[in-house]
Structure 1
Amino acid sequence: MRTSRLILSVALVATALVAGGGRSLALDPEAKVDPDAGSLELFSFGFKAYQRGEKLEAFEALRFAADKGHPGARWKLGKMYAEGDGVPENDYEAYKIFEQIVREQDDDGGGFPNAAYVSSAVVALADYLRRGIVNSPVAVDLPRARQFYFHAASFFGDARAQFELGRMTLHGEGGKANPRQAARWLKLSADKGHVGAQALLGHLLFEGRKISLPAAPVRGLAMLTMALRKASPQDQDWIRGLQEEAFSLASEADRRTALAYAEQQMASAADVVSTKN
């Protein structure tokens, strides 16, 4: 995932700055895991091994680094267990690791770069509490899941947490439904580029009634159309359903205006990316 690569890259920059110019485990492909090495060096070694596809060696190095308290190593171990990436999938083991990351966060929220790990761990815990883990003590607990999403959404400004919190608040999962508040969370997430939030906010704006606002069919349909074009395969079906429903209800004039606006916005975004590159 893009977020995973970003978090790991940030930590590796810190590792390089601390390690200095000497020869290290991470720079020597022939080196073996040294459990007595420092946590930063072990983490860097584990990440390099992971990049080479040597996941068992990566897991061993990351485990040693995690035992020495490195938050990035703990986070990566949690992700590996959660996704069955190089190790047998074990959601409960992942849950315990993410819980440890959150429990041991600094009072100031972790600071840089730990905040990224803590935020991701909080969202992962919320996901698990939302659906539960079979054959484990972790049962479905929607109120706690909503609280965890709220923490990540408000304290860390996490876009996915804002989306999930908005969705739970919209449908009354884990607490009272509040469509207006849900729309606020969705807008925060949508402004950060979260495609699901853009789609759901577009759906709410299209009809307006649920959030006590005048209907905005052009803006809503345009947002749904742009979200559908940017959606990942796992999100395309539900976004397509909302987009097609809005398209069928919109007037011909609103359809033309919305599609033209969506095309213009997509073209402008592409131009910005091209200019930066």
Structure 2
Amino acid sequence: MKRLQYKAIQGNTLALFRLGNMYKEGIGVEQNDSQAVSLYTKAAEQGDPNAQVNLGLMYDHGRGVDQNYKQAIYWYQKSAEQGNDAAQRNLGLIYNYGRGVAQDYQKALYWNIKSANQGNANTQVSLGVMYEYGRGTAQDYKQATYWYQKSADQNNATAQSNLGNMYKRGKGAEQDFQQALIWYKKAAQQGNAASQYNLGEMHEQGEGVEVDEKQALIWYHKSAVQGNTDAQIKMGIFSLKDTSVPKYLETSYMWFYIAKLNGTDTQKALGIMETQMTQEQIIKAESDGKACLASNYVKCD
């Protein structure tokens, strides 16, 4: 540590960058964003691309300095022009969402391509999305599938989920439920809520597998407790069908109510169920729903 500090005082670029990281993360020193910015700035001004992208991040998110998108872009650009794939990705995000600049999908595409070609898995999935929806370029499902595959092969869960969608819908690739299942499972096992829902749907509808409502319910539940409102509605529907379970009405109402609290209009379903429930049952189900959310989906059963 003392040796690193000594080198940083002497102006050693790598030492300045490493010490900046230590202050940013609080490793071996008390966490201090302002000190990290100071050290990154010294290294960035010496042309270090890693310090430049990190300094850009500090300005981008307002850590240790006032949030300043222009400064973030300035440092990302410096780093990106030296071939730093993370800086290229961040510039792509800046232009994609129009943070501090006019939204410009073509510039976003330009920087995403540069980053993706260096193997950045997160950028590859972003590039796939741009091709899938025709942002900054003509809509091209084959290119979307190509980039999702590149990212999915690096175990990116979002890309695996999106690739599953392409196979399920037959976009950019021949429709193939078996391939869809393979990629959904890979993503679902990493906790991807969308893929968990899609696996539930495929088991419910018998797409690529035998109809299996028990397996469908397992996947819907995994997705629901991650906040997926479509899965929460499915939990409400499945709970309502299983009349052999005590308090099935309350459980069903609870899931529809949770989806409502999460911003989905389920009032029609709730209204129908209320005609079959006592006021006491409704109050209990609503209380259980609030408790489920308050516990971050730990106390939902």
TM-score (norm 1): 0.70
Aligned to 1:47: 93
The Cα offsets for residues 155-178 of structure 1, whole Å up to 9 and x where unpaired, read as x12111111111211221211111
Equivalent residue of 1:264, what SS?
A: helix
Match runs of 1:88-237 below 5 Å: 88-103=138-153, 105=154, 109=155, 118-133=156-171, 136=172, 138-154=173-189, 156-208=190-242, 213=245, 216-232=248-264, 236=265
The Cα offsets for residues 122-148 of structure 1, whole Å up to 9 and x where unpaired, read as 110111111112xx5x12212221222
Code of the aligned partner of 1:192: Q
Question: C-alpha separation between the residues in 2 aligned to 1:46 and 1:75?
Answer: 12
The percent identity for this pair of structures is 19
- CA shift, 1:258, in A, is 4.6
- Contact residue 204 and residue 212 of structure 2 kept, 8 A: yes
- CA shift, 1:198, in A, is 1.3
Comparing both chains, which one has the higher relative contact order based on Cα–Cα distances under 8 Å and sequence gaps of 6 or more?
1
Q: Give the gaps of 5 or more residues in structure 1.
A: 1-12, 110-117
- Contact residue 199 and residue 228 of structure 1 kept, 8 A: no
Code of the aligned partner of 2:283: A
The Cα offsets for residues 156-206 of structure 1, whole Å up to 9 and x where unpaired, read as 121111111112112212111111121111111111121111111121111
Aligned counterpart for 1:261 among listed residues 275, 281, 284:
284
Indicate how the Cα distance of structure 1 residues 169 and 240 shifts in structure 2: closer, same or farther if over 3 A, else same.
Answer: farther
Q: Give the gaps of 5 or more residues in structure 2.
A: 1-23, 26-32, 46-51, 57-71, 297-301
Indicate how the Cα distance of structure 1 residues 152 and 174 shifts in structure 2: closer, same or farther if over 3 A, else same.
Answer: same
Code of the aligned partner of 1:77: L
- Contact residue 196 and residue 219 of structure 2 kept, 8 A: yes
- Contact residue 226 and residue 262 of structure 1 kept, 8 A: no
Question: C-alpha separation between the residues in 2 aligned to 1:165 and 1:266?
Answer: 25
Question: C-alpha separation between the residues in 1 aligned to 2:249 and 2:215?
Answer: 20
Question: C-alpha separation between the residues in 2 aligned to 1:125 and 1:141?
Answer: 11
- CA shift, 1:268, in A, is 5.3
Aligned to 1:115: none
Aligned counterpart for 1:61 among listed residues 105, 111, 129:
111
Indicate how the Cα distance of structure 1 residues 185 and 79 shifts in structure 2: closer, same or farther if over 3 A, else same.
Answer: same
Task: Say if 2:276 is the partner of 1:251.
Answer: yes
- CA shift, 1:47, in A, is 2.4
Task: Say if 2:134 is the partner of 1:84.
Answer: yes
Indicate how the Cα distance of structure 1 residues 219 and 74 shifts in structure 2: closer, same or farther if over 3 A, else same.
Answer: same
- Contact residue 33 and residue 57 of structure 1 kept, 8 A: no
Indicate how the Cα distance of structure 1 residues 214 and 149 shifts in structure 2: closer, same or farther if over 3 A, else same.
Answer: farther
Code of the aligned partner of 1:85: R
Q: Which has the larger radius of gyration?
A: 2
Indicate how the Cα distance of structure 1 residues 71 and 272 shifts in structure 2: closer, same or farther if over 3 A, else same.
Answer: same
- Contact residue 161 and residue 183 of structure 2 kept, 8 A: yes
User: RMSD over aligned Cα, in angstroms?
Assistant: 3.4
- How many residues were matched structurally? 232
Equivalent residue of 2:95, what SS?
A: helix
